[in-house]
Amino acid sequence: MAGRIKILEMFLRMIVRALFRQKARMFVALLAVAVGAAIISGMITVYREVPAQLGREFRAYGANVLLLPAGEAKTFDGASLKKAQEALRGHDIVGCAPFLYERLEINKQPVLTGGTDFEEVKKVSPYWMVKGEYPKAGEREILLGAEMASKIARDTDKLIGQTVSVSAGEGKAMLSFTVSGIVSTGGKEEQFAFLNLDELQKIVEKPGAVGLAQLSVVADGDSLKSVEDAVRTANIGIEPQEVQQIAHSEFNVLKKLEVLILLVTIIVLILTLICVTTTMTAVVTERRREIGLKKALGASNANIVMEFLGEGCVLGLVGGLLGSGFGYLFAQSVSINVFSRGIAFAPGIAVLAVVLSVIVTGVASLIPVRIATSVDPAIVLRGE
């Protein structure tokens, strides 16, 4: 055992000395391996972390799941919605905004009016642009859509702070609500008015009723299916429905990102392979005399192969270690600057980068090794 350790120690010492004898060339090869490993580990780290962070960025475009009444029912109750939220514990839920839509008379004009929880709307639909403020909970305040508000007054900004009459229809009580703000969304919401959910439920005499809920969850593909399955298996009279446009957009973007990272990784590996092969070939050419002398003294082709493969693997190991560290710093910088969030160091990715670096340098050494084993010691030692 001690003898094997001694042989291994001598072998490593020989490889290190050989590497240091060709400092300039080996530095170029080491730099190529380190850069390659840095890009690979950085890109893989970014890809590993980006889907979740991109998922949160996509949530700015609205809900990706709708919770609708099951069967022929037109509404479900708030208790069922709470059970649905309990069934989704463990999923990364951004927000869940309940809605109830009814046609009311506002200043004696029929307007489709939605009742909702505005704190949840801020989470689910951050793209809503509100001049003024959202209605406060427990207050008789109303949020008017920009298009709807323009039908009441030419200068819609002056409506903010004014009162409007709200009624469930002919023969129903007329209530006064203060306009808290004007909302612009670029969608149909601009034609509506919005109240606090409990206020609308009182006006239309439907306590606890919810027409639908917009669910914003950080998930895609199979994860999104698991969200739907969790709601269905709860058997609470709610049917989940994926918002196809948003969900497919997320899926397409992430798939394209995956292909991009795969292509970049392959290109970097090829470039690293070419650079190391070129460098090692030049090293073998310069060391032909040394190789010829070793073979003349009894070194076998296997000994020559092990020496050059060893040099390549050591080069790959050191370059991979350096590159994986710089790759993590690169990924951390991208995440902080783009998403304003840090990412954790992934040892598995670092190991993968090192292993790939060793494999690439090992493969890159095959051509030089073949040249080395073909050296005829008699011809080389004669100076030919």
Residue 3: pLDDT over 70: no
Q: Per the structure block, which two tokens stand in for 287?
A: 């060391």
Read out DSSP for 154-210?
A: SSGGGGTT-EEEEESSTTSPPEEEEEEEEEE-SSGGGG-EEEEHHHHHHHTT-TTEE
Q: Per the structure block, which two tokens stand in for 196?
A: 């606090």
Q: 280 or 115: whose pLDDT is higher?
A: 115
**Mean pLDDT, to the nearest integer, of 168-188?**
89
| Residues 216-230: tens digit of each pLDDT | 888 766 677 888 888
Confidence of residue 111 (pLDDT cuts 50, 70, 90): very high
| Residues 296-316: tens digit of each pLDDT | 777 777 777 777 777 778 878
Residue 170: pLDDT over 70: yes
Q: CA 380 to CA 245: how far, in whole Å?
A: 70
CB-based burial, 287-301: b 16+ in 10 Å, e otherwise = bbeebbebbeeebee
Strand spans (E) along the chain: 65-69, 76-77, 93-106, 109-116, 129-132, 141-145, 163-167, 175-184, 193-196, 209-210, 212-217, 238-242
Q: 6 or 228: whose pLDDT is higher?
A: 228
**Mean pLDDT, to the nearest integer, of 347-363?**
85
29's CB contacts (< 8 A; 6+ apart) are: 275, 276, 279, 280, 315, 319, 361
| Residues 233-278: tens digit of each pLDDT | 888 889 998 886 666 666 677 777 778 777 887 888 788 778 777 8
pLDDT of residue 58: 65
Residue 282: pLDDT over 90: no
Q: What is the share, in percent, of the chain residues with pLDDT greater than 70?
A: 84
pLDDT of residue 168: 86
Residue 128: pLDDT over 90: yes
Residue 375: pLDDT over 70: no
Which residue bears the tokens 């008017």? 144
pLDDT of residue 80: 92
Residue 339: pLDDT over 80: no
Residue 135: pLDDT over 60: yes
| Residues 56-65: tens digit of each pLDDT | 666 567 788 8
Residue 125: pLDDT over 60: yes
CB 92 within 8 A of CB 219: yes
Q: What is the pTM of this model?
A: 0.62
Average pLDDT, the chain: 82
Q: CA 278 to CA 310: how far, in whole Å?
A: 17
Beta bridge partners of 110: 105
CB 361 within 8 A of CB 312: yes
